[in-house]
Amino acid sequence: MQNKNKKFLPFLYLLPTAILLIVFLIVPILYTFYLSFFDWNLIAPTKEFVGMRNYLEVFTDPVNQKVILNTLIYIVFLVVLNFLFPYFISLIVKFFISKMQGAYKVLFFIPSLFSLVVGAMVFTWILNPVSGPLAYVLKNVGISMPNWSNSGILAITVICFITNWKVFGYNFILLLTGLGSIPKNIIDAAKVDGIPKWRLIWNVILPMNQGIAIYVLILTIVQGLQYVFTPINVITTGGPYYGSSNMIYQTYLNAFVLYKTGTSSALAIVTFVIFLILLFIEIRFVERKAKNYA
Amino acid sequence: MKNSKLKKILLMLGIMAMAVVFAGCGKKTSASTVKHITYWHVNAQTQGGAAVDDLVKKFNDTHKNIKVTAKYNPDMYKGLMQNLQSAQASGKVPDITQVGWAYDNYFASNFKYMTPTDAAKKFDGNNKFIDGNFTKRTLSFAKDSKGKLVGLPYSLSTPVLFINKDILSKYNIKEDSLSTWEGIKEASKKIHDQSGKYGLYIQEPGDTWAQQGIMLSHGADIQKGGKAAFASDNGVGAYKYYQEMVTSKLALHTPWAQGMDSFVKGDVAMAFTTIAQASHIKKSASFNASAIAAPHFEGHKTVVPVGGSMLAITAQDSEQQKAAWEFEKWMYKADAAVTWSKGTGYLPPTKVALESSAFKDYVKENPMLDPAVKTLDNAVPWTSFPKKGLQAEQAMIDARDKILSGSDVKSTLGAAQDKINAEQK
């Protein structure tokens, strides 16, 4: 009896989580996969089977190609702004500034408390190229502000900066906490050996902080692409001519604005696979590297 | 011992779960005396939501047998349509639904509804209510591509040209020269040359409503016989004008919120946008703002697509439909329609409300509404293509964005037209 219970109990404990995962994650993913082979407007009683047409459209349609390219640009920008930049600042705060560490933490974290919709609206106002405060300041110095919402790459840059405003503090605190948990005796030993600070950081600190760094990097890509959705939706709605759209916004646009469920599902599945591959490469690559240090 | 405790806990949990499940399936039991109906609308508190709540409360106070619950749906007509889809899937649809014109055909061909004509016939025994309140033109806005009346027009809007009178008088520009698009170009050039400011902003939201107005006022058709026809010489001419205005920096090309912000701050002299912006402009502009009727091109007359929404009966049960029809009729009473109009900035749809002294007084206090009311006589239904209408609208938005980024007007409009027509077979 006791033994039977022991076998049965772990499954019982897992059941609530498993049910939640199955209902809200596995089933929707499978259903999305199923829908990606149909042409359906979300409500009509009949779905038309179209085979691989939706997938072909994802890769051959020039708009989708543009959107995939934009997604890659977003990833590069997000990694630089939301991962490398806070990492750099957290290293400076930890190892080069000894005072007011707590104050920096609070200051940088404040924007994380605000909603992105609020952030997007405030930045739309500040960065209005004709009538925003920044445009007025620049005008007084004799510089005219470029109309960024008419250029895809500038719009992407602005949108990435808005998400940077939101997530910088959070990522900064995570990385700083990681740096703080490195055993002090190792750092002291390195200092006793007279190793220069940059070598200490490169050869000791960075490898030892890899766990947190990988986590933040993955978060930056996967969550970042979802975070940019809000400013895209509020400011540019993907424009100019899909110049600032990414795969997640495009999935939303196809599903809930145009009711092209098939195309949207195919895009969602492709995005899902890309995310899986990215995470796989990232973890494998970094884990292997981590083992080398071990 | 441990085992029995675990069993007890599991049993309790099970009972609680069942209770939750059954509570969700509960049926209303008070239906025999009071009819409960739900009304779905899109008016946030800042966009007339308070007026809607007020009207519903008044209705409930005066009607003992019907209780209306108003439900606000965020993200305008798009958001409401998304919620309606989920409602249809779960089988719990609202009884009255506010539907935007752009969703006319999509709604008609995918949802179950009762036409106002049927409702009037079944519950009133005659068509007096519809004929007595709405003009033929107003009713035409709410018809689907097969000519069937889907709902009753509820809110109407037309585009108008808002002007910054201070800038115009500073550069000696007369208002009556702005009745044509050619006159607006000349004025914009004068303003731009002397001040560096933009002359004009044309609204660029997620639809081409305003742009359709410019094409229509150049004698173009948006659709003809159910097929897209906007890539005609007249359509191309209108867009060439718009493109030229943008490339020569006479007109500002920017998303809607920024464009309106620039207008109310006095950096743009004129804004071609919906009359629903009047109260925002009145509140925010620090200059002398006014509105004039939508312009036309020389040799053509002003024609604009109507904006706004209709009310459709989505109730399925006959008794519910009757209650919904009762509520709908009450909402169209002149004082209710005027209250709603004041709250939202839209124009009332009925003849009685438009001619009521309450509305006339309101227009006197808000003269910006006057040109919009007058333009209603030149309004046509907002183009809604019979098949894949939402994708057709997106094709037109894409064409607009491409043209304003410098693409060739004729080939871009032609490609958009072909894309839409390929779906209309």
Question: What is the reported pLDDT for B7?
Answer: 63
Q: What is the ipTM of this complex?
A: 0.83
Does residue A260 form part of some domain? yes
**Are B165 and B367 contacting, i.e. CB atoms less than 8 angstroms apart?**
no
For residue A1, is pLDDT > 80?
no
Whether chain A has a CB inside 8 Å of the CB on B346: the answer is: no
Q: Do A259 and B268 touch (CB under 8 A)?
A: no
Tell me how far CA of residue A278 lies from CA of A168, A271, A273, in angstroms: 22, 10, 9
The answer to whether the CB atoms of B398 and A125 lie below 8 A apart is no
- Report the alpha-carbon distance of residue A244 to residue B187 in Å, rounded: 34
Q: In sequence order, which residues have a C-beta less than 8 Å from that of residue A248 and are 6 or more positions away?
A: A225, A226, A228, A229, A271
Mean model confidence pLDDT for chain A? 88
pLDDT at A2 over 80: no
For the domain spanning B159-305+387-422, the CATH number is 3.40.190.10
Let me know if residue A30 belongs to a domain: no
A257: closest chain B residue by CA:
B78
In-domain check, residue A202: yes
Q: What whole-number distance in Å separates Cα of residue B201 and Cα of residue A125?
A: 17
Instruction: Return d(Cα A131, Cα B266) in angstroms, integer.
Output: 9
> Is residue A229 situated within a structural domain?
yes
Structural contact between residues B51 and B81, judged by C-beta atoms closer than 8 angstroms: no
Return the residue in A131, A153, A158, A250 with the most chain B beta carbons within 10 A, the one to mutate for interface testing.
A131
Mutate to test the interface with B, among A4, A145, A259 (most CBs of B within 10 A): A259
- As a whole-number percent, the residues of chain B with pLDDT over 90 amount to 69
How far is C-alpha B198 from the geometric centre of its chain's CA atoms? 28
Nearest CA-CA distance, residue A134 and chain B, Å: 13
Chain-wide mean pLDDT for chain B?
89
What type of residue sits at position B94? P
The number of distinct structural domains making up chain A is 1
Determine the Cα angle at A252 with ends A248 and A254, to 5°: 115
- CB neighbour burial string for B308-333, b if at least 16 within 10 angstroms, e if fewer: bbbbbbbbeeeebbbbbbbbbbbbbb
B305 has pLDDT over 80? yes
**Could you tell me the pLDDT band of residue B342, with boundaries at 50, 70 and 90?**
confident
- Residues B107, B425, B307: CA angle, nearest 5 degrees: 35
Label residue B379 left, alpha or beta by phi (over 0 means left) and psi (-120 to 50 means alpha).
beta
Residue of B nearest to A39 (CA): B388
pTM for the structure as a whole: 0.85
- Name the one residue in this structure whose structure tokens are 């509105």: B291
Distance from CA of A114 to the nearest CA of B (A): 20
Residue A132 lies inside a defined structural domain of this protein: yes
Label each residue of B152-205 as H, E or C. Answer: EEEEEECEEEEEEHHHHHHCCCCHHHHHEHHHHHHHHHHHHHHHCCEEEEECCC
Question: Over the stretch B39-92, which tens digit does the pLDDT of each residue have?
Answer: 999 988 767 888 899 999 999 999 999 999 999 988 788 888 888 888 887 888
- Residue B198: list chain A partners with CB under 8 A: 130
Contact B359, B156 (CB under 8 A): no
Give yes or no for a cis peptide into A86 (omega within 30° of 0): no
- Asked whether the beta carbons of residue A130 and residue B198 sit closer than 8 angstroms, the reply is yes
Q: Which helix (H) or strand (E) holds B151?
A: none
Nearest Cα neighbor of B339 from B40, B29, B75, B48 is B48
CB pairs under 8 A between A and B: 71
Q: In this predicted model, what pLDDT tens digit does every residue of B397-420 receive, in sequence order?
A: 999 999 999 999 999 999 999 999
Tens digits of per-residue pLDDT, B144-186? 888 899 999 999 999 999 999 999 999 999 999 999 999 999 9
Q: From the CA of B384, how many Å to the nearest CA of chain A?
A: 14
Residue A185, Cβ neighbours under 10 Å: how many? 8
Q: Do B110 and A130 touch (CB under 8 A)?
A: no
- Chain A within 8 Å of B262 (Cβ-Cβ)? yes
* Within-domain flag for A21: no
Higher pLDDT, B231 or A45: B231
In chain B, which residues have their Cβ closer than 8 Å to the Cβ of A256?
A: 78, 82
Per-residue pLDDT tens for A160-198? 999 999 999 999 999 998 998 888 888 888 888 888 888
Distance in angstroms (rounded) separating the CA atoms of residues B346 and B123: 29
Which DSSP symbol is given to B389?
Answer: H
Give the pLDDT confidence score for residue B318 in this predicted structure: 93
Q: What is the spatial distance between Cα B257 and Cα B79, in angstroms, rounded to a whole number?
A: 19
Average pLDDT, stretch A263-279? 90
Give the length of chain B. Answer: 425
Which residues make Cβ contacts (< 8 Å) with residue A64, sequence separation at least 6? A57, A58, A250, A267
Facing residue for B262 by CB, picked from A44, A128, A236: A128
Domain boundaries, chain B: 33-156+307-377, 159-305+387-422
Residue B265: which of A131, A150, A260 has the nearest Cβ?
A131
The answer to whether residue A14 sits within a structural domain is no
What average pLDDT does range A240-266 have in this prediction?
92
Closest to B261 (Cβ–Cβ): which among A125, A149, A241? A125
The whole-number pLDDT of residue A43 equals: 79
Region B102-112: mean pLDDT is 88
**Type of residue numbered A57:** E
The whole-number pLDDT of residue B10 equals 61
A103 dihedral zone (left: phi>0; alpha: psi -120 to 50; beta): alpha
pLDDT band at B31 (very low <50, low <70, confident <90, very high): very low
- Scan residues 354-393 of B and list those with Cβ closer than 8 Å to A: 390-391
Residues in a beta bridge with B161: B272, B292
CATH code of the domain occupying B33-156+307-377 = 3.40.190.10
Residue of chain B nearest A126, judged by CA positions = B258
CATH number of domain containing A201:
1.10.3720.10
Q: How far apart are CA B236 and CA B230, in angstroms?
A: 8
Could you give phi then psi for residue B73, rounded to 5 degrees?
A: -110, 115
Which of B19, B13, B75 has its CA nearest to residue B42? B75
Distances (CA, A) of A16 to A6, A12, A13, B348: 18, 8, 7, 53
Q: Which two tokens stand for residue B262?
A: 């620039």
Task: Report the relative pairing of strands B289-293 and B251-252 from DSSP bridges.
Answer: unpaired
Alpha helices in B26-164 (DSSP H): 49-62, 76-90, 104-110, 116-119, 128-133, 136-141
B82 contacts chain A (CB < 8 A)? yes
Name the residue range of residue A265's domain. 36-293
B361 confidence band (pLDDT: 50, 70, 90):
very high
Distance of alpha carbon A208 from alpha carbon A187, whole angstroms: 11
Banded pLDDT at B22 (limits 50, 70, 90): very low
Decide if pLDDT at B15 tops 70: no
Same fold, B33-156+307-377 and B159-305+387-422: yes
**B227: exposed, middle or buried (Cβ count in 10 Å: 0-12, 13-18, 19+):** middle
- Residues in B closer than 8 angstroms to A260, CB to CB, are 391
Quick check: A43 and B402 CB within 8 A? no
Closest CA to B421 of B224, B210, B289, B236: B224
d(CA B412, CA B418): 10
Residue scoring higher pLDDT (A97 or B2): A97
Q: What is the average pLDDT across B21-35?
A: 54
Number of neighbouring beta carbons within 10 Å of residue B102: 23
Q: What residues of chain B, 233 to 252, have a C-beta less than 8 Å from chain A? A: 252
Measured between beta carbons, the chain A residues lying within 8 angstroms of B82 are 256
Report DSSP state, residue B149.
Answer: B
| Distance from the A235 Cα atom to the nearest Cα atom in chain B, whole angstroms | 7
The span from the CA of B54 to the CA of B52, in Å, is 5
Amino acid sitting at position A126: I
Angle between helices A116-126 and B256-264 (to 10 degrees): 50
* C-alpha dist (Å) from residue A87 to A73, A157, A160, A201, B160: 20, 20, 17, 12, 52
Burial of A277 (0-12, 13-18, 19+ CB in 10 A): exposed
Residues from A in contact with B at Cβ < 8 Å: 1, 5, 41-44, 63, 121, 124-125, 128-131, 147, 149-150, 235-237, 239-242, 256-260
